[in-house]
């Protein structure tokens, strides 16, 4: 019987050390690896990049991964008299301050992404793939894909439906009908193409449902009743078939498409079993049984890690029950951001205390129908907060859609989930603000970097209305990537220092922005010494010339001055999921499999 979460925590309150990503694979391909901040692409000088949180009313009217004036070196008490007074940020750069190694950041491959990308002409597809995966662009390195259909699909399928439609399948005990199908094959080919642009992506799969005939209701998609459907759940008599199913899927990707699957979540959102799109209840004991009765061993033989749970932070006992029920088979826990009113990422700390070697990831979050003219910090807030609490990677949901947030299920699910890319036509696509927010992390934080604790400077928490959040990652070349999220309604002058280094850096973080500083290693600072900083009595949030952000010019320490009044703005949420859409009825829901009925 699984131990309770509380008991596990009490048994290991002193077992704290940084997780390692040693042994994690890559999906493969001929594309380049790494990027700025690794040994082959070291940071030679301080740099700054900025993206406004404002959703633009018109394209190219806000700063999006704009090059900013870099932070400057300061000495002693120099530059303390600025407006507003400097915010002191301290990073514990000691071994004790190290938390976890990073894998990367990314999105999910969905059928909507594949379908829209297939509509692009060859040269345009080449450009969008470069924009997403090239080490010279967004360098996405932590990618999820749907194993079968999801709500972001234009056709519904598993890899062995065995019937005239997705909801009319009969048991196929030997999986004689197994195959990726038209949509699944298209996805595998597109994922293989990803390897031409980046050769070191960590790729993990997750099904939204097992084949309908393995469930108590016999349906891939249950009727949409406005609530969870009680018999929309896995029938454990089919555990041997699901072990075979997942093994065949992994082998097919490798054998037929040259794609290595690196991680597997047995079920996306196992506690979400509503109708209208593929979903399924999977009890943690059943997830553990599938792993313990053959799948865990098969995954290890193939270099694939098992990722438990893959749902919200309000049920932390779920991954514990899987870990305890399948000892030695679970390498990671996966979390989503949808707990209301806000995700509680501190449960990642709790799980780390209990299982110090367990990797953790934030595997899904979404921006829902953003409103132009409002502020949206969703990507930055959830990336910084989850990684601060121990996540070794973070990914947003859908990567690309058409202008109507589709294709998506006509029966239910998300009808307004935004990706990084909107495909407008065969020759035109739009990079959304999420693309640029993603790039503030994925471009500059390398695989193998180590996240360190920020001991001073953070203001507010993930659930507060006003925040100044900070993420500090020590890259393989010994440089630092520091990401700031300023939602404090005013520009913040920052003095950044490290506990194990003699250098202090200063610069301004404008209101309503996300800013990434690249700080060169001490060796590079000595080899290429930058000019020292000097300061002025004010910093402009934005000049009329769209300068990335105002910087500080000379001022003596003895000058007398007072800070001017500050005009502030209020952040507006853009993540409401309220929908007035009328959905079609799910077809063929009267189909039953007598031996599966509860």
Give the helix/strand (H/E) hosting 421: strand 421-423
CA distance 308 to 348: 13
Taking alpha carbons only, the member of 345, 279, 268 closest to residue 308 is 268
- Provide the β-strand partners of residue 417: 368
Residues 144, 205: contact at Cβ < 8 Å?
yes
User: DSSP letters along 53-100, please?
Assistant: SBPPSSTTSS-SSEEEPPPEEE-TTTT-S-SSPPEEEEE--SGGGEEE
Q: How far apart are CA 364 and CA 337, in angstroms?
A: 7
Task: Specify whether the CB–CB gap between 525 and 42 falls below 8 A.
Answer: no
Separation CA 406–CA 411 (nearest Å): 13
User: Which residues are tagged catalytic?
Assistant: 269, 364
- Are the C-beta atoms of 520 and 479 separated by less than 8 Å? yes
Are 332 and 308 in contact by the 8 Å Cβ rule? The answer is yes
Q: What is the 3-state secondary structure (H, E, C) of 157-181?
A: CCCCCCCCCCCCCCCCCCCCCCCCH
- Report which of 490, 530, 491 is spatially closest to residue 508, judged by C-alpha positions: 491
């Amino acid at each position: 019987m699984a131990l309770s979460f509380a008991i596990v925590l009490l048994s290991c309150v002193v077992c704290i050390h940084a997780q390692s990503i040693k042994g994690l694979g890559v999906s493969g391909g001929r594309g380049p690896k790494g990027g700025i901040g690794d040994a082959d692409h070291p940071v030679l000088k301080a740099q700054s990049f900025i993206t406004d949180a404002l959703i633009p009313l018109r394209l190219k009217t806000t700063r999006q991964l704009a090059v900013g004036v870099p932070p400057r070196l300061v000495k002693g008490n120099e530059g303390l008299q600025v407006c507003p007074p400097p915010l002191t940020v301290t990073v514990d750069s000691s071994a004790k301050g190290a938390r976890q190694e990073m894998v990367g950041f990314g999105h999910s491959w969905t059928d909507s992404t594949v379908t829209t990308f297939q509509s692009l002409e060859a040269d345009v597809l080449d450009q969008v793939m470069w924009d997403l995966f090239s080490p010279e662009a967004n360098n996405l390195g932590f990618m999820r894909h749907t194993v079968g259909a999801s709500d972001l699909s234009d056709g519904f399928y598993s890899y062995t439906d065995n019937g005239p439609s997705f909801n009319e399948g009969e048991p196929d005990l030997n999986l004689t009908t197994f195959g990726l199908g038209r949509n699944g094959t298209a996805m595998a080919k597109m994922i293989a193409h990803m390897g031409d642009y980046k050769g070191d992506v960590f790729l993990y799969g997750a099904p939204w449902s097992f084949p309908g005939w393995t469930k108590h209701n016999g349906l891939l998609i249950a009727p949409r009743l406005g609530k969870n459907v009680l018999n929309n759940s896995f029938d454990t008599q089919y555990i041997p078939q699901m072990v075979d199913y997942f093994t065949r899927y992994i082998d097919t990707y490798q054998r037929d498409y040259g794609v290595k699957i690196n991680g597997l979540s047995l079920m996306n959102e196992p506690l979400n079993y509503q109708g209208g799109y593929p979903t399924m209840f999977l009890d943690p004991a059943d997830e553990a049984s599938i792993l313990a009765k053959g799948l865990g061993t098969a995954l290890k033989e193939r270099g694939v890690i098992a990722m438990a749970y893959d749902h919200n932070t309000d049920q932390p006992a779920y991954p514990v029950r899987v870990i305890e029920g399948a000892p030695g088979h679970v390498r990671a826990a996966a979390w989503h951001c949808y707990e209301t009113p806000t995700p509680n990422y501190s449960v990642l700390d709790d799980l780390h205390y209990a299982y110090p070697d367990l990797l953790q990831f934030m595997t899904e979050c979404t921006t829902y129908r953003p409103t132009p003219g409002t502020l949206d910090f969703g990507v930055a807030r959830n990336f910084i907060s989850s990684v601060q609490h121990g996540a070794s990677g973070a990914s947003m949901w859908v990567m690309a859609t058409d202008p109507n947030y589709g294709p998506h299920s006509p029966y239910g699910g998300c009808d307004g989930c935004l990706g990084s890319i909107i495909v407008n036509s065969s020759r035109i696509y739009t990079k959304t603000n999420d693309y640029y927010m993603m790039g503030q992390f994925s471009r500059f934080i390398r695989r193998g970097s180590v996240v360190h604790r920020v001991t001073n400077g953070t203001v507010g928490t993930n659930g507060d209305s006003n925040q100044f959040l900070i993420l500090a990652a020590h890259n393989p070349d010994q440089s630092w990537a520091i990401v700031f999220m300023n939602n404090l309604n005013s520009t913040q002058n920052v003095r950044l220092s490290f506990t194990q280094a003699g250098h202090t850096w200063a610069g301004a973080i404008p209101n309503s922005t996300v800013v990434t500083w690249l700080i060169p290693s001490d060796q590079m600072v000595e080899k290429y010494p930058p000019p020292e900083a000097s300061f002025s009595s004010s910093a402009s949030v934005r000049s009329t010339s769209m300068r990335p952000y105002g910087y500080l010019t000379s001022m003596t320490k003895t000058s007398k001055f007072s800070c001017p009044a500050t005009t502030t703005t209020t952040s507006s949420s853009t993540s409401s999921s309220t929908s007035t859409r009328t959905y079609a009825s799910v077809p063929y829901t009267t189909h039953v499999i007598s031996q599966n009925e509860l």
